[in-house]
Amino acid sequence: MKQKLGQRERGFTLVELLVVIAIITLLFSVAFVNIRDAQSQARDANVRENLLAVIKIAEFSLSKSVNDYDVVCNDSDNTLSDGGDFGRLEYSIETNNGRRTVNCFESPDKKSYAISSPLLYLPGHWCIDSSSISKFISDPISTSQCP
């Protein structure tokens, strides 16, 4: 079939297709970054929720013991106790914080404790302690109280 003078063939040119592909790629990259940020925020929320669960379990353990928090921290490496509910929560926290160490310190008399975990989305740590404080801090803890 002959084409008449001044008429174009139907279809898209290579430039038009490349422009469409570039726009789709740009939209995909923006969406991917937002999804990744949302996943990091969700993991941080999970870390905070697990740390709040530690407070509840520690209070329950306190009511069953001789009024101290001896079972919360592992004194040999300043992390959460490895056994039972504390061990399961520590595993869950470390799964969500990028496999980074959860710090745990008890007072010498075992009457108080503090725990901090690094966060993924925010550049810092989440800290809880035996007085039910739960807050964001910039550095890991080194005492039995959140700063």
76 falls within a domain: yes
Report helix, strand and coil shares of the chain as percent, to nearest 5.
45, 15, 40
Hey, what are 87's tokens? Answer: 């061990």
pLDDT range class, residue 5, cuts 50, 70, 90: low
143 falls within a domain: no
5 falls within a domain: no
Indicate if the pLDDT at residue 2 is higher than 60.
no
pLDDT digits (tens, 9 = 90+) for 98-135: 999 999 999 999 999 999 999 999 899 999 999 999 99
103 falls within a domain: yes
Domain that holds residue 44: 19-137
For 57, list phi and psi in degrees, rounded to 5: -70, -40
AA identity, residue 79: T
Indicate if the pLDDT at residue 65 is higher than 90.
no
Rounded Cα–Cα distance for residues 118 and 137 (Å): 9
Report the pLDDT value the prediction gives residue 4, as an integer from 0 to 100: 62
